[in-house]
Amino acid sequence: MSTEEKVASPAVADSPCEACPAHHAGNLIRLGVNMANWDFVVALAGNPNTGKTTVFNSLTGLRQHTGNWPGKTVVRAEGGFAYAGQRYKLMDLPGTYSLLSTSDDEEVARDFILFGSPDVTVVVVDATVLERNLNLVLQVLEITDRAVICLNLMDEVQRRGMEVDERRLARDLGVPVVPTVARKGEGIPELLQAVSDVAAGRAICKPHRIESPPGLKNALGDLTDEVATAFPGLPNARWVALRLLEGDGRIAEAVRSGEIADLGRHLSSRVPSDAGLVLQEMEE
């Protein structure tokens, strides 16, 4: 497979949809690891075994090129694609059930979404066990306003006689929800369009967030102001304050030592490709 490969997306001849960017043949260009001068950074998150790697490979044309995150043994995968005249760098975050940082995998995923400021975070969920996946979705929506939910394995939903109302789910979550069957390429054009719309600001997300009780809300507001004052420019000071109130020891230590400011500066650079990062091709 060449580094750049144009992929035709399905369209019906003489259909009005042919002119739509989501169905324009060749609108997706897989860039593999050729990620110079990207316009947007996309984080790809999800529980293990949701088809996240299949989505990654579909967009980049890779068979999962990997290395390690700096200072971690956690696998790091990144690739690129071009769509509608824009270049995207795709960071495939470790599969995790939570962002509460009880493992290196969770810490890497949390820190990149929290401090790396990706332009879009795509959360891949298994539509057959949606309730199990929504825990991660809601945690991501606490951190970022720019998210897209990839509702994967919809063929399994149909095979099991289940139903998922993606439109109602989108209304309830306040972000785009795109049904897909990634291993067959179904829904990938629509996913690309949703990512493009959120990245460019054409789609404004209003993510659902759990309302805090009045006492907690006031304390959270005060502590958020203190964190923002102590660490100017720190992304997501509110989320850091929330974790402090919940007794997150790792975040508390990072605040006490000042490490959290360094982490914010490091990851806000969008984790450029390391010159010395050894990439190796692995079978999915």
pLDDT tens-digit profile, the chain (284 residues): 444 444 333 333 444 444 454 444 347 776 555 556 789 999 999 999 999 989 999 998 865 544 444 444 456 688 889 998 899 999 999 888 988 867 777 788 888 888 888 999 999 999 999 999 999 999 999 889 899 999 999 999 999 999 999 999 999 999 999 999 999 999 999 999 999 999 999 999 999 887 778 888 889 899 999 999 998 888 788 888 988 998 888 888 888 888 887 765 555 454 444 322 323 332 33
The answer on 158 and 33 residing in a single domain is: yes
Q: What is the pTM of this model?
A: 0.77
- Inter-residue contact 140 to 61 (CB < 8 Å): no
Q: What local confidence, expressed as pLDDT, does residue 20 receive?
A: 52
The answer on 18 and 90 residing in a single domain is: yes
- Domain extent for 258: 214-266
Task: Examine residue 142 and state whether it is found in any structural domain, yes or no.
Answer: yes
CATH at residue 173:
3.40.50.300
Task: Examine residue 43 and state whether it is found in any structural domain, yes or no.
Answer: yes
Closest by Cα among 205, 207, 46 to 133: 46
Task: Examine residue 28 and state whether it is found in any structural domain, yes or no.
Answer: yes
Task: Examine residue 271 and state whether it is found in any structural domain, yes or no.
Answer: no
The answer on 136 and 20 residing in a single domain is: yes
Q: What local confidence, expressed as pLDDT, does residue 152 receive?
A: 97
Q: What local confidence, expressed as pLDDT, does residue 212 receive?
A: 74
The answer on 203 and 237 residing in a single domain is: no
Q: What local confidence, expressed as pLDDT, does residue 169 receive?
A: 96
The answer on 115 and 226 residing in a single domain is: no
Which one of 208, 224, 249 terminates a domain?
Answer: 208
Fill in the DSSP letter of residue 272.
P
Number of compact structural domains in the chain: 2
The answer on 229 and 115 residing in a single domain is: no
Which residue bears the tokens 């005060």?
222
The answer on 156 and 246 residing in a single domain is: no
Cα-based distances in Å from 91 to 18, 116, 128, 250: 30, 11, 25, 24
DSSP code string of 88-110:
EEEEEPPP-S-SS-SSHHHHHHH
Fill in the DSSP letter of residue 268.
T
